[in-house]
């Protein structure tokens, strides 16, 4: 059921629209995502916790919601903003409409917004606090104050909020076969907000996976006799995650093979002595060109991050491996004297191109090479 709604930014910008989902008030950091497909994967990505997503693609909801495209068990975004909402899904896999899913998950959304104007505003002024509200629940003045009161993501450790509480095994491969891994390799994946397709690709290309809580100690993980460590994506600022950084330093000391993605990439860099910074409006989309610095090969990648590693802060023993061709920000690193590497974007896609899924095979090669040494 639709209702009058408003979208208000902390700088006082007001957008009137039509609400759908739950009639409520919500705040968060507003970002824009340029993907043309995959809204279900995007809103269920834990990396979007405390963020309100603006979709630049004009039609959202056309394909409904299905069972296979969940990247976690629930919606993590605080709200969504669209130009035009379709409540009549048409897709052979669809089990429910987007609105029904939002209602089930207690999420508010707003449509009839000029998303091009909003996106241009965010590109010029940067991501900022935002309030999305049903007009029956909040006045314009109250919404502006709510947006201004949002504390932002800097200094915020959200990884431990979205991480699994209990360890679990994952052996299922990629869609549509979902083959069970027959590998004897044991990979321990730290869950800082891990996406399911990352787990599928680890099982498909590397080995059986044990997923552990973000704060699981070095000794607890080593007792599992891992062949390699995976550091997952996740929300928030990497710098407050001192528990993770300390653990990674210990894994580096014992030459444990490590592969990090997104937040995991940032944490690996911090463990190596580098620094991170908050980006103006981040990278969120499935059309981002990234170049391998050594081979000059260009990959079209999926991206979702608001923080980046400061390339100038990389110390001895760490080399830059990938850069963004949009803004030259650092996209990948390799340790020259340790079996560790990471990538800022999302090689698992979901949604997005699969150009750089070879990184999972690179991790397999690294794990096997290390196993031979031992």
Q: For residue 19, which phi and psi values (nearest 5 degrees)?
A: -80, 150
CB proximity list for 374: less than 8 A, separation 6 or greater: none
DSSP state, residue 339 = S
Establish how many alpha carbons lie within 13 A of residue 56's alpha carbon, considering only the half-sphere containing its beta carbon. Answer: 18
Q: What is the spatial distance between Cα 5 and Cα 19, in angstroms, rounded to a whole number? A: 5
Strands (E), 122-162: 128-134
Which of 323, 277, 322, 282 has its CA nearest to residue 303?
282
Six token digits for residue 71: 């990247």
Give the C-alpha distances (Å, rounded to integers) separating 224 from 202, 209, 214, 217, 368: 17, 11, 15, 11, 17
The DSSP result for 271-291, as a single string, is HTT--EEEEEEEEEEEEEEEE
The Cβ of residue 202 has, within 10 Å, a number of other Cβ atoms equal to: 30
State the Cα angle at 174 between 170 and 179, rounded to 5°.
Answer: 70
CB proximity list for 92: less than 8 A, separation 6 or greater: none
Q: List active site positions.
A: 262, 346, 348
CA 349 to chain CA centroid, Å, is 10
Q: What is the spatial distance between Cα 241 and Cα 255, in angstroms, rounded to a whole number? A: 21
């Amino acid at each position: 059921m639709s209702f009058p709604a408003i979208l208000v930014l902390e700088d006082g910008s007001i957008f009137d629209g039509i609400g759908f989902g739950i009639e409520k008030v919500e705040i968060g950091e507003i970002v824009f995502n340029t993907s043309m497909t995959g809204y279900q994967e995007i809103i269920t990505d834990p990396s979007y916790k405390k963020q309100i997503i603006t979709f630049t693609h004009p039609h959202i909801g056309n394909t409904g919601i299905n069972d296979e495209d969940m990247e976690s068990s629930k919606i993590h975004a605080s709200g969504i903003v669209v130009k035009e909402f379709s409540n009549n899904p048409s897709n052979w896999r669809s089990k429910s409409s987007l609105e029904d899913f939002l209602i089930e998950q207690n999420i508010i959304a707003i449509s009839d917004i000029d998303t091009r104007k909003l996106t241009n505003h965010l590109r010029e002024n940067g991501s900022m606090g935002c309030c999305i509200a049903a007009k029956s629940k909040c006045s314009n003045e109250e919404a502006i104050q709510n947006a201004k009161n949002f504390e932002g993501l800097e200094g915020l450790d959200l990884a431990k909020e979205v991480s699994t509480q209990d360890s679990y095994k994952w052996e299922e491969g990629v869609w549509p076969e979902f083959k069970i891994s027959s590998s004897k390799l044991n990979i321990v994946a730290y869950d800082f907000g891990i996406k399911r397709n990352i787990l599928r690709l680890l099982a498909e290309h590397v080995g059986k996976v044990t997923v552990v809580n973000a704060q699981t100690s070095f000794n607890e993980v080593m007792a599992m006799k891992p062949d390699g460590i995976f550091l997952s994506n996740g929300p928030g600022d990497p710098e407050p995650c001192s528990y993770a950084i300390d653990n990674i330093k210990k894994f580096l000391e014992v030459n444990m093979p490590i592969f990090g993605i997104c937040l995991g990439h940032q944490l690996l860099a911090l463990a190596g002595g580098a620094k991170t910074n908050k980006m103006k409006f981040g990278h969120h989309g499935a059309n981002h060109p990234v170049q391998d610095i050594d081979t000059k090969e260009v990959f079209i990648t999926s991206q979702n991050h608001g923080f980046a590693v400061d390339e100038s802060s990389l110390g001895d023993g760490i080399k830059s491996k990938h850069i963004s061709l949009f803004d030259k920000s650092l996209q990948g690193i390799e340790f020259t004297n340790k079996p560790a590497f990471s990538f800022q974007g999302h090689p698992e896609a979901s949604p997005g191109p699969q150009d750089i899924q070879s990184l999972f095979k690179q991790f397999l090669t690294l794990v096997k090479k290390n196993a031979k040494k031992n």
